């Protein structure tokens, strides 16, 4: 009987030990699970923080890109405005140049009684002057001057005058040593003379006179040549 009682006590004691061991394992497992849950929560928090940081960086990058795009658009707009203004100025300059009349091809020849042959070839209009091309031959037997009065000085318009139908005078300009245009006997000259000033916008015709101070047809030393009502073509 005693022997059975001892065995029963031993079994109960072993069962108690087993129960304690199971409780310890359960507690350890619970602690491990709780630790894992905390680590998982911390990891999730770190991931969320990184996501928030990335989102903030992305938004900042996007804002910077939008600002750079706006600056580029403004710069391009300013450059386009400058280019448009430059093109407008160039077009205006071209338009102003286009307002000048076309060159006038004349090729009119006059045989002067004293023996000088004069050909008025062409009149050309520039921004600040008017050019006249001519050819002359002297067969008088003497020396002669096509512009006896020389270039324009003060109130004198000189030895060659050019006037338009509005009454505007274009002053004859030349060097002092050649402004009288001397031709020796038998000499032929082809030249270009200039008159200061841009042709008037409302001018329709021109009158050109060599040796205007000479009376009638002039003389051997200063023959007179007149070309009146030269039409300006625009």
- Ranges of each domain in the chain: 1-98, 104-231
Residues 139, 124 contacting (CB under 8 angstroms): no
At residue 93, the pLDDT reads: 54
73-115 pLDDT, tens per residue? 777 777 767 676 666 666 555 555 558 999 999 999 999 999 9
Residue 75 pLDDT:
75
List, for residues 158-169, the tens digit of each pLDDT value: 999 999 999 999
At 128, list the tokens: 């600040």
CA atoms within 13 A on the CB side of 140: 23
User: 181 with 147: CB under 8 angstroms?
Assistant: yes
Are 101 and 117 contacting, i.e. CB atoms less than 8 angstroms apart?
no
Residue 15: helix, strand or coil by DSSP?
helix
pLDDT for 25: 45
* Residues lower than pLDDT 70 in the chain: 1-69, 71-72, 80, 82, 84-98
Calculate ∠ Cα 174-178-179, nearest 5°.
45
Question: Residue 2: enclosing H or E segment and its boundaries?
Answer: helix 2-98
Residue 159 DSSP SS3? coil
Report the length, in residues, of the chain: 234
Cβ atoms of 174 and 194 within 8 Å: the answer is: yes
Question: What is the C-alpha to C-alpha distance for residues 225 and 207, in angstroms, rounded to an integer?
Answer: 11
Name the CATH topology of 104-231: Immunoglobulin-like (2.60.40)
Q: What are phi and psi of 204, to 5 degrees?
A: -120, -20
Q: DSSP letters along 37-103, please?
A: HHHHHHHHHHHHHHHHHHHHHHHHHHHHHHHHHHHHHHHHHHHHHHHHHHHHHHHHHHHHHHTSPPP
Of the candidates 173, 158, 165, 85, which has an alpha carbon nearest to the alpha carbon of residue 126?
173
**What is the pLDDT at residue 57?**
56
């Amino acid at each position: 009987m005693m022997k059975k009682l001892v065995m029963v006590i031993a079994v109960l004691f072993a069962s108690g030990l087993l129960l304690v061991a199971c409780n310890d394992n359960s507690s350890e497992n619970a602690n491990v699970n709780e630790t894992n849950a905390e680590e998982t929560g911390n990891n999730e928090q770190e991931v969320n923080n990184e996501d928030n940081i990335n989102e903030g960086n992305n938004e900042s990058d996007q804002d910077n890109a939008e600002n750079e795009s706006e600056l580029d658009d403004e710069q391009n707009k300013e450059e386009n405005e400058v280019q448009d203004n430059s093109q407008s100025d160039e077009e205006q300059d071209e338009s102003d140049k286009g307002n000048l009349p076309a060159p006038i091809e004349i090729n009119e020849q006059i045989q002067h009684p004293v023996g000088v042959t004069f050909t008025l070839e062409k009149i050309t209009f520039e921004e600040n002057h008017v050019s006249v091309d001519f050819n002359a031959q002297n067969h008088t037997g003497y020396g002669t001057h096509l512009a006896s009065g020389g270039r324009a000085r003060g109130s004198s318009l000189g030895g060659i005058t050019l006037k338009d139908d509005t009454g505007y005078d274009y002053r004859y300009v030349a060097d002092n040593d050649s402004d009288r245009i001397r031709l020796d006997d038998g000499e032929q000259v082809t030249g270009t003379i200039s008159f200061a000033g841009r042709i008037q916008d409302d001018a329709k015709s021109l009158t050109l006179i060599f040796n205007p101070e000479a009376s009638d047809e002039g003389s051997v030393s200063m023959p007179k040549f007149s070309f009146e009502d030269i039409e300006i073509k625009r």
